[in-house]
Structure 1
Amino acid sequence: MSGYTLTYFPVRGRAEAIRLLLADQGVAFKDEEAQIPLWFAGKDDRKKHAVFGQLPQFKNGDYTLYQSNSILRYLGRKHGLNGSNDEELGHIDMVNDGVEDLRQKYVRLIFTEYDTGKDKYLEALPQQLEFFERILSKNHNGSKFIVGQKISYADYNLLDLLHCHLDLSPKSLSAFPLLSAYVERLNSRPKLNEYLKSEARNRRPITPKHK
């Protein structure tokens, strides 16, 4: 056992890229759930200790870390998922920041603009996805990972965000052959595929808005 514990709400949300990474790497971890009503009512004692009052929380023994992207970067260093040199690491960090930019727009849509802004969001989405298609094309013609020759923590974060958009619109990647093949390629990785088909994964909605 790694001694890892991941605490989050009973949704995929900000914890899912972390779960994808751990599952694909074959790393055992305890997946704890915090109930949303209790957390936001201040009735979950764990909130008192959360550095920014937020989840996910990640523990490695006595070491505790918050903020999903910090957790991903930490696991990238722990498990050799942050490139083969400083230049690759720089590009991986860059891609991860780009994923975060798009995720913020997606979250804003889901929680505040869904009823009135979905069509507008989907109209603008191809311009956002084109950035990732272009980055992918420059690495072995899009046949491997987003950076370098081995998977990185940014791949898991990007994959999760692409899953979210495919749920939002199944045709969202139809104009992006490299991203479409990338999703299929990563989904087919044996340990990751097993997780994607698991009851634990599929009982969780993407966000509280997705029932």
Structure 2
Amino acid sequence: MPPYTITYFPVRGRCEAMRMLLADQSQSWKEEVVTMETWMKGSLKASCLYGQLPKFQDGDLTLYQSNAILRHLGRSLGLYGKDQQEAALLDVVNDGVEDLRCKYALLIYTNYEAGKEEYVKALPGYLKPFEKLLSQNEGGQAFIVGNQISFADYNLLDLLLIHQVLAPSCLDSFPLLSAYVACLSARPKLKAFLSSPEHGKLGGYLTSFLPDQ
């Protein structure tokens, strides 16, 4: 049996970053797919700690909250920086990703038609901090922090990919972020996952985003 189990809806959403991490790190996992019909029945929801998904199992350990799951995988698989300083910086990055992800979710679920133009106009300001972080780390020739990939890199990559669907030219004025996305997406195992039939069965980036729920 795979050591990990992801229980979630049949979409990319909040589990995409952890799936990319696991695939890129040659880790196997099982998907327990939850339909909206099953979810609305309420028994699974009632059994979840906060009444929301995703649910993640690592052997006997059951976790909730997507960012907590990412951090757990970061610690378990050596993807949390080389020392405490890098770990702290990765927390800063990951919290920044979460802030923008929440802005994105608010747009998609509450104000997409009326708010898209204003959101896209403000997007360069939201992306600028990540470009700055890259520039401060080996001139943008490495990862977001340090010289090895981290859990925060997968989360940031997912965030940038969904925004490229929303606004395809959003990274045109950010050369470091553009190169970062291209470089990470070309990692052999990650590229294979992103182009796999299993991944293709999951919902598209715009329509599949779900908050922990």
Residues 12-161 of structure 1: pairs in structure 2 closer than 5 A: 12-42=12-42, 45-161=43-159
Bigger shift: residues 104-113 or 30-39: 30-39
Normalising to structure 2: TM-score of the pair?
A: 0.94
Distance in 2 (CA, whole Å) between partners of 1:48 and 1:183 is 38
| Conservation of the 8 A alpha-carbon contact between 1:5 and 1:60 | yes
Distance in 2 (CA, whole Å) between partners of 1:10 and 1:2 is 19
By how many angstroms is 1:202 displaced? 1.6
Identity of aligned residues (%): 53
- Structure 1 gaps of 5+ residues are none
**2:207 partner SS:** coil
Counterpart residue identity of residue 88, structure 1: E
| Conservation of the 8 A alpha-carbon contact between 1:2 and 1:60 | no
**2:46 partner SS:** helix
Distance in 1 (CA, whole Å) between partners of 2:115 and 2:127 is 18
Normalising to structure 1: TM-score of the pair?
A: 0.95
Distance in 2 (CA, whole Å) between partners of 1:142 and 1:132 is 10
Counterpart residue number, 1:165 = 163
| Conservation of the 8 A alpha-carbon contact between 2:13 and 2:208 | no
* Count of residues in Structure 1 that have an aligned counterpart in Structure 2: 209
Runs of 4+ in 1 over 3 A off after TM superposition: none
| Conservation of the 8 A alpha-carbon contact between 2:12 and 2:208 | no
Distance in 1 (CA, whole Å) between partners of 2:45 and 2:61 is 17
2:179 maps to which of 178, 181, 191: 181
Counterpart residue number, 1:11 = 11
Indicate the RMSD between aligned Cα atoms, in angstroms.
1.5
- Structure 2 gaps of 5+ residues are none
By how many angstroms is 1:2 displaced? 4.6
Structure number with greater CO (CA < 8 Å, separation at least 6) is 2
